[in-house]
Structure 1
């Protein structure tokens, strides 16, 4: 009864959203994803009888890859909701990657699968309900509920009780997450740590370290680059040979960041380069305008300034940099990564206003070290194999 009512409401929302979908589909950022998700344009159903992994973004797609690679490639089915996530999934399964349709479309899009494995907070009711109704065992992995989002979950506890009734197995990051998930109705919840610590991407040696002290400004967002550039200016006054790799989080910002960085470099009389034009790292300031190179940048860097937390974004995966024992500077707004940060020693956390002076003397910063939490992948793989 609830599924029928929910589906009716979802169809009404779909109809109401159509004009907006059409308008946004004319924009470069949404030109592929929205027609695929809301109109099924060039988005056919995933083949039946596989292991269906669903993730949201680029970071989650990268995190789930080592787990997915443990299974027969012929069984892999992947879906995502973002363009960057789609591109990352296609690297793993180019013929079996799709955009996740808007919920009511799942009724005639979804084919029977052996398992549905959903990453973190992608809690779509009909995704679990329809997959389970068609024979799939359903898993929620790397599950977390942050302090910031917990009040909203409690407010809609009646809904989440319905949703978690459709989830067969939950793997939580922490004991606190388990308690919150069970309070919302989740069953068979097991704490295994953070999958992202079991699935840290390894560098392939694609980049050669240039001469001089190398700073990587990683996964930056709007409002963060200006503070990082000022900090690098102060650092470079002590280390004239220093170079900065600027790696924005979202590719649609590349053009805007290029203009800002190029102008800043001109004022400082620095050299500037786009990585895509010659793949050289010899300039003072280099914009990495290509996806998938972040871990390669970490591998050759001396200092990492990790974006996404100097503004209230929620933070990003610090383990990818910490595996190299680098000093890492983060902002205080890492609420989406609190559990992950707890497994890493040595991260320097400062407000954006203090970032420049912190960057000025990097020799004072401690190195980072991952201290635990790498057992999640084996436990999750074991449970998925039990249903094959």
Structure 2
């Protein structure tokens, strides 16, 4: 296939901008306490040895994408006992969470920047036999250079935003050139499969897959912390508001104030999506006049609210309550992963803006495993109904758990399709 002019232009720009981009990403990782030698993985300097034999590379940019493929790696590892795995991501947060849940025979590296030098160093060292890219990471040079290095390639959990689809549609030659590298493209739903074909993905290699986030497994827990927190709470009723974004905490706090009028002992565990916002959220709580304690200061729950502004502890809060509200949904952010809540044996409440998981929420709502709310009054009413009716609450929890269990049986099918398409069997 002829190299498009836009691709050649992109390569030239990436070379010119590399000094600035590399300085920015390395400094960002160092500020997040990543050691300097590991931060330099972003410019292609490996810090681990390549294992002998077959190496399968998984690239996932975000925290959610990274965690979503760990179960798939584990299942493929069981089917391919001699294979080794490399997982790359771009952020310190994703690296820390991956380290907690790393599958056997797997190493993590920070992904190389999409420029000739970093990619040449990366591919020369790792030389993957197969590469699997997750969701929306379509870096042109990373894809074309990996293909040129001889790796079989797949895109899984494919999901592009409307903006991305429009951008690629305006550049048909570049889109066809980039997407032609994939031996298999598995999308999250039929609509995305059709959209990928419209932007010139090879139709014969595109198929509907499954949302991998349904396979991620329960979040890690600390039994000692759960015991201490339960002891501090006693028999108080409890709900959790997790992964909230700026602008959403006010709605959550308003709902909690309404609930306290009928349930004066009710406790809220409030976990902002970005723990560094802890001080800001603490001020919002103070402004309401409600009492609270602060997880990042080492406190245990007391008063009306527990501000859980720490990283990697969300599984503990899910384990403590069977009523969980998921943020990123009261505003047009797209929602967060409801499977993690259901796997922790809790029912899911969410705002209406869940376009990142539209089909999942639709199915969960139909099954009675999730409920969508519009505002503080609606949220308070839903929680009140669950608190007052234990049978309704228990049924909602059971339905949510059954919904997730039914999804996990599909993981073997996806693993098998990848193994065959990538020539690993």
Q: Which TM-score band (shorter chain)?
A: 0.7 to 0.9
Partner of 2:69, secondary structure, is helix
- Residue 373 of structure 2 corresponds to 350
Matched, 1:359 2:362: no
The alignment covers a number of residue pairs equal to 382
Deviation readout 1:192-235 (Å, 9 max, x if unpaired): 32122233325656324432221111111111112111111111
Structure 1, unaligned runs of 5 or more: none
Matched, 1:54 2:59: yes
Change (3 A) 1:42 1:31: farther
- Asked if the contact 2:180–2:201 (Cα under 8 Å) also holds between the matched residues in 1, the reply is yes
Counterpart Cα distance in 1 of 2:419 and 2:215: 18
Moved more, 275-284 or 132-141: 275-284
Select the residue among 112, 115, 127 that pairs with 1:101: 112
- Asked if the contact 1:192–1:375 (Cα under 8 Å) also holds between the matched residues in 2, the reply is no
Matched, 1:9 2:10: yes
Matched, 1:296 2:319: no
- Residue 265 of structure 2 corresponds to 241
Change (3 A) 1:51 1:179: same
Deviation readout 1:245-288 (Å, 9 max, x if unpaired): 11111233233333433x246x23x2x22224446234431122
- Residue 63 of structure 1 corresponds to 68
CA RMSD across the alignment: 3.2
Change (3 A) 1:242 1:8: same
Matched, 1:174 2:189: yes
Deviation readout 1:30-84 (Å, 9 max, x if unpaired): 6759993796386547726411111111112221111122315971211001221
Counterpart Cα distance in 1 of 2:335 and 2:180: 30
Moved more, 300-309 or 11-20: 11-20
Change (3 A) 1:203 1:20: closer
Partner of 1:56, secondary structure, is coil
- Residue 112 of structure 1 corresponds to 127
Matched, 1:260 2:249: no
The TM-score, its normalising length taken from structure 2, stands at 0.78
Counterpart Cα distance in 1 of 2:97 and 2:82: 16
Counterpart Cα distance in 1 of 2:122 and 2:238: 48
Structure 1 or 2: more helix by fraction: 2
Counterpart Cα distance in 2 of 1:375 and 1:146: 28
TM superposition shift of 1:149: 4.7
Select the residue among 218, 231, 255 that pairs with 2:242: 218
- Residue 88 of structure 1 corresponds to 97
Counterpart Cα distance in 2 of 1:363 and 1:134: 58
